[in-house]
Amino acid sequence: MSRLDSVIRRLQAQRSCIDHAIALVADRPGPVFEVGLGNGRTYDHLRDRLPGRAIYAFDRQVAAHPDCIPTGQFLVLGDARQTLRATAASGGRAVLLHSDIGTGDAAANAALAVELAPVYAEAVAPGGILISDQPLAGPAFEPLALPEGVAPGRYHLYCRR
């Protein structure tokens, strides 16, 4: 598989998982947390599919397309290990959290996911959904079946117990 094939599959898996998770939380109130704003593509997707929903985006710094930068308190800059807790306290725990933190460094990705897992467990409301580019482990996370067409391990879905 070429890198072009691979990125298409990854983005399709990401979209399928996000759309599936959005359907799962459709009838539940609460904010959405986007961890890793990056270029803003999935933030744009979330706000397109969830008009009127409070969506907080977290990153260390802004590198997003100018059209895809949240305004006011919905852009939260800093270390997510601190900022998520504060935002959950002030704005409510998330009904949906999308975590896209991966870089080219697989070992660093895995280490960061281990550090973030307990933070996500606090930041997401019980019954809320986590979508993650990295596997998450811990008693708080119940793995959910992936939507059709998404290969196991390509993306990850959990329900916060």
Residue window 96-135: x/- pattern of binding to a copy of itself, with contact defined by CB under 8 A: --------x-------------------------------
**151 lies in the site for a copy of itself, by CB under 8 A:** no
Q: What mask, x for binding a copy of itself by CB under 8 A, covers residues 35 to 54?
A: ----xxxx-xx--xx-----
Strand arrangement, sheet containing 94-99 = 75-77, 55-59, 32-35, 94-99, 124-132, 156-160, 141-143
**Residue 20 corresponds to which tokens in the numbers above?**
């599936």
Structure token pair of residue 27 = 């009838």
Provide the binding-site residues for a copy of itself, judged by CB under 8 A. Answer: 1-5, 7-8, 11-12, 14-15, 18, 39-42, 44-45, 48-49, 65, 68, 104
